[in-house]
Amino acid sequence: MLDYKTVGLTHEDLKGIYKWMLLGRRIDERMWLLNRAGKLPFVISCQGQEATQIGTYFALKDEDILAPYYRDLALVTARGITAEESMLAAFAKQGDTSSGGKQMPSHFSKKDLSILTQGSCVTTQVLHAVGASLSLKMDGKKAIALATLGEGSTSQGDFHEAMNFAGVHKLPYICIIENNKYAISVPSHLQYATDDLSSRAAGYGAFGEQVDGNDPIAVYEVVKRARERAVNGEGPTLIEALCSRLTPHSSDDDDNYRPSDEMKLEKENDCIIKFKEYLVENEVANDDWFNQIEDEIKQEINTATKNAEKAPYPLPEEALTHVYDQGGEKDA
């Protein structure tokens, strides 16, 4: 794991990174249990990708615009979507910030946090983010737009169109591929014929870099440098973060297509376990602190779950709210 001192992080920064990684994991685990108990209809997990997401979060600024994909629970949690708001979305209740309980779970969005509304068709968010980055450049703002996606989505035309446009216009845009090696059941060697997806950046006139996605410090450094280039007018960056998917693609997926020895190795290299070991080795935190954080997070998630279960469902008359334009002149 990269030396935190070389990138300017403090002990408090490292504790913050661990806390957000753990909160994302524990919310995810609770949702998985609720699904198996028959209380949630659908869950899509971020377990194993928290290091990439929280390393990214720590390198961003509040004014930056996010266009996440469905597996970015840890990222949007750190950005400000609370555990309760995520639970409300999962239970399809009124307080869901993304749609008021009318959209699938994991379609993250919240206007106040500059998290763009997400569509269900994979890869569309990269086009939205590039559009946002164009507006930032036109307005002369020192901010960037960031999109995330899985490696399977890089086979979609939207991805290539977005990167090409961003490169041509030198937009303040960062695209992060969270490469967990499986596009649902399709392994990476059947998805693309290169060892480094970030090498495609050269063809778009962008900067490209591959990083260990299980190391939040390394991810932080790479994204921080990409952001600095972007706000200095040096154009977009394509980052490939090599990370792990510790669960099936979703709660509806049977992932017996994955070799058992591969899964065993992935769990041994769990980014949260490894980062905790790193904090202990560097005397950043002790058992008392880890236990305190676990207790605080457990209490937060218990409260969020209870409140979401008790919350009202959307009213039938709200079904078309924010779906069709409600402005314009009334008939005379």
Q: What is the pLDDT of residues 22-51, one digit of tens each?
A: 999 999 999 999 999 999 999 999 999 999
> What number is the average pLDDT over the span 127-140?
98
Instruction: Give me the sign of the Cα torsion angle 113, 116, 117, 123.
Output: negative
pTM for this structure?
A: 0.95
Average pLDDT over residues 131-136: 98
Q: Which of 11, 257, 313, 322 is catalytic?
A: 257
Token representation of residue 214? 């299980």
CB 13 within 8 A of CB 59: no
Dist. CA 104–CA 121, nearest whole Å: 12
What was the pLDDT predicted at 267?
95
249 is catalytic: yes
Label residues 33-66 b or e (16+ Cβ within 10 Å = b).
ebbeeeebeebbbbbbbbbbbbbbbbbbeeebbb
Per-residue pLDDT for 328 more than 70? no
Cα–Cα distance, 124 to 142 (Å, whole number)? 24
Catalytic residue chosen out of the listed positions 249, 278, 313, 324: 249
* Sheet arrangement for strand 145-150: 65-67, 145-150, 173-179, 237-242, 207-212
Q: From its phi and psi, is residue 43 left (phi > 0), alpha (psi between -120 and 50) or beta? A: beta
Helices 216-231 and 11-36: crossing angle in degrees, nearest 10, is 110
Distances in whole angstroms, Cα of residue 226 to Cα of each of 19, 84, 165, 174, 297: 24, 32, 17, 7, 32
Average pLDDT over residues 9-21: 98
Return the structure tokens found at 249.
């693609």
Which is catalytic among the residues 245, 258, 278, 324?
245
CB neighbourhood size of 209 (10 A): 18
Q: What is the C-alpha R_g of the chain?
A: 20
Q: What is the predicted pLDDT for the residue at 47?
A: 98
pLDDT at 331 over 60: no
pLDDT of residue 329: 60
* % of the chain beyond a pLDDT of 90: 91
Q: Is the pLDDT of residue 180 over 90?
A: yes
Q: Kindly tell me if the per-residue pLDDT of 318 is higher than 90.
A: no
Residue 49 DSSP code? -
CA distances from 209 to 3, 163, 318 (A): 19, 14, 45
- 257 catalytic residue (yes or no): yes
> Does the pLDDT at position 195 exceed 90?
yes
Average pLDDT, the chain: 95
Which of 71-75, 103-107, 209-213 has the weakest average pLDDT? 103-107
Token code pair at residue 32: 């998985």
Query: Is pLDDT at 309 greater than 90 in this prediction?
Result: yes
Stated as kind and residue range, the H or E segment containing 318 is none
Note the pLDDT of residue 330: 59
Q: Say how far apart CA 268 and CA 274 lie, in whole Å.
A: 9
Exposed e or buried b per residue across 156-194, where buried means at least 16 C-beta atoms within 10 angstroms of its C-beta:
bebbbebbebbbebbbbbbbbbbbbbbbeeeebeebbee
Query: Of 248, 294, 311, nearest to 90 (Cα)?
Result: 311
pLDDT score recorded for residue 322: 75
Nearest C-alpha neighbor of 177 from the set 235, 224, 238, 132? 238
pLDDT tens digits for range 149-168: 999 999 999 999 999 999 99
Quick check: helix, strand or coil at residue 210? strand
Which residue is associated with the tokens 């164009």? Answer: 134
Residue 144: pLDDT band by 50, 70, 90 thresholds? Answer: very high
pLDDT at 280: 98
In this structure, of 93-97, 135-139, 237-241, the range with the lowest mean pLDDT score is 93-97
What mean pLDDT comes out for the span 193-198? 96
